[in-house]
Amino acid sequence: MELNDFVKNFASQFEETDSSVFSPETSFKDLEEWSSLTALSIIAMVDEEYNVKIKGEDIRNSATIEDLYTIVKSRL
């Protein structure tokens, strides 16, 4: 699992936010489009793409996309 691929998959869950906004350092909860529905989409994407189960708590404990990537990678 590569960080850049994770960032691309993460960005694909957003319909209105330009993909150039997303990087490992992006504070995703500060994005205008961020919502609880987006969080559910991220949880589903991680399950589908990486076969890893994450919870809302994992998202709450993450400040950046890289923080969430680190959690997912640790569960592979």
Query: What is the Rg, in whole angstroms, of the alpha carbon atoms belonging to the chain?
Result: 11
Number of domains in the chain: 1
Q: Residue 69 domain-assigned?
A: yes
The verdict on residue 18 lying in a domain is: no
- Are the CB atoms for 10 and 49 separated by under 8 Å? no
pLDDT band at 19 (very low <50, low <70, confident <90, very high): very high
How many Å apart are CA 30 and CA 52, to the nearest integer?
Answer: 25
**pLDDT computed for residue 75 by the predictor:** 98
Residue type, position 25, single letter: E
- Residue 19 counted as domain residue: no
Is the pTM higher than 0.85? The answer reads yes
Mean pLDDT of 27-39: 98
CA nearest neighbour of 72 among 55, 40, 22: 55
Question: Is residue 42 a part of any domain in this protein?
Answer: yes
Provide the residue range defining the domain that includes 48. 3-10+26-74
Q: Please indicate, yes or no, if residue 30 is contained in any of the structural domains.
A: yes
Question: To which H or E segment does residue 40 belong?
Answer: helix 36-50
Q: Is residue 65 part of a domain?
A: yes
Task: Match 């504070």 to its residue by tokens.
Answer: 27
Q: Assess if residue 46 is contained within a domain.
A: yes
